[in-house]
Amino acid sequence: RSPLAQPPCDGHPACRGGHNRQIRSQMRPSRTLALVCMVVVFGVSYTIAGNIRAKTLGKYSGVVTTVLNSVLYVVVYFPVLFWRRWRGIIPPEQMAWTYSWRSPHAACGDSLWKRTGAWKYMLLAGFCDCLSQVLQFTSQAYVSLVAQVILHQMNVLYTAGWSMTLMGTRYVLLEVAGMSLSALGGIMTIISEPAKSSSAFHLALYAISAAPPALVLKEIMFRRWSAHAQSDLGDGCRPAALDIWCVNSMAALFQLFWVIPMAVVAAARERDADETAFEFFVGAWSCLHGSPSSGCSGALEWYLNYFFFDVLANVFIYMLISEGSALLAFITLKVNVPLTAILGLIHWPVVGAAKLNIAEVCSLFLVSAGAVLFFRGSLKREAIA
């Protein structure tokens, strides 16, 4: 039934401003298109800036970037969350539901998982975010920009798999074909490296960095709120969507919780044979501050430049997930592949200009074709549903 046909429920806190919400629902297609454009623009900028940052930090990239990201996400997200709550943009019911220790629908005899509040999804999402960043940033300095954008497209395969496992999503044949082409393109990129090349290991590491299901867990968070609010309202009203700052603030909090053990493990893996983990952290600090003995120049400036685009890209991706789904966000990110590859041919500071070989051109074609097939398959599945 159309939301416009539903009676207003302005008095209920979970569905504030029924008439205004109906007006906003009519504007949703243009809003979604604007979000898609923002994800593309800041996604491409984030990729290029991140590649420069990784080259500057070198072997310290994984530890430094993951730790600083975890701290700065909390520093940036929570003031925005409190400001939005203070202005009344975020209803108190959403804050209470997000941060409640116990599920409001828990009953006697339920398992611990069912009794626990929605924060459990963000506990897992924070772990997945942290693990994904460690894997990606540790290997990024050793992987070319074009290979990065090709391998990153394999995440649609991981997301589809996790969506089927955790949310019961089913896909049509065209979507399966698109996922298969994307996976084939990523595999071609890895095996095209010379057997003796040390970057082959980092290519594989980068390829699996998107495997943790952080985005799917965040989509589950949005859906759980909708189900909770709908159960309180009944069928006569469409509930307001969960505010994205409730989700990303809690995800950032739990990412900060996981980052220390993750950073210690990463440091133990990346340190030199004659270097202790403590000495590795000291070297990372010196590199970040551009100490002459570290060989790093402008690392802090390039990191801040990268973080600016990272925050904006994350915010718009969260908004797109809230408006649509995790798979819509991934489909949107497919547009970044040809754009980043083309812009990568320009000479950039630190990294220079990217070079395309035959294998990468073929891989780029495969993942782009896979994205088109997957998108057409998604439209077909939505039409059937």
pLDDT the model gives residue 206: 87
pLDDT the model gives residue 19: 40
pLDDT the model gives residue 13: 47
Half-sphere exposure of 160 (CA within 13 A, CB side): 23
pLDDT the model gives residue 25: 38
Half-sphere exposure of 28 (CA within 13 A, CB side): 15
Bridge partners (DSSP) listed for residue 102: 116
pLDDT the model gives residue 71: 94
pLDDT the model gives residue 28: 62
- The pTM (predicted TM-score) of the whole model is 0.80
pLDDT the model gives residue 237: 66
Per-residue pLDDT of the chain (385 residues; tens, 9 = 90+): 333 233 334 444 455 444 443 434 344 667 778 888 888 889 889 889 999 999 999 889 999 999 999 999 999 999 999 999 999 999 999 999 999 888 877 677 778 888 888 899 999 999 999 999 999 998 888 888 888 888 877 777 888 888 888 888 888 888 888 888 888 887 887 777 654 455 678 888 888 898 999 989 988 998 889 888 887 666 556 677 888 889 989 999 999 999 999 999 988 888 888 888 888 999 999 998 887 777 788 899 999 999 999 888 878 887 786 676 656 776 677 677 778 888 888 888 888 888 777 887 888 888 878 877 877 787 777 777 6
Best CA proximity match to 246, nearest among 270, 225, 215: 225
pLDDT the model gives residue 341: 81
pLDDT the model gives residue 105: 74
Number of CB atoms found within 10 A of residue 17's CB: 13
Q: Rounded to 5 degrees, what are φ and ψ at 352?
A: 75, -150
pLDDT the model gives residue 186: 78
Whole-angstrom distance, CA of residue 116 vs CA of residue 285: 39
pLDDT the model gives residue 193: 64
pLDDT the model gives residue 235: 59
pLDDT the model gives residue 11: 46
Planar angle of CA 383, 384, 385, nearest 5 degrees: 90
For the chain, the maximum distance between any two Cα atoms, rounded to a whole number of angstroms, is 71
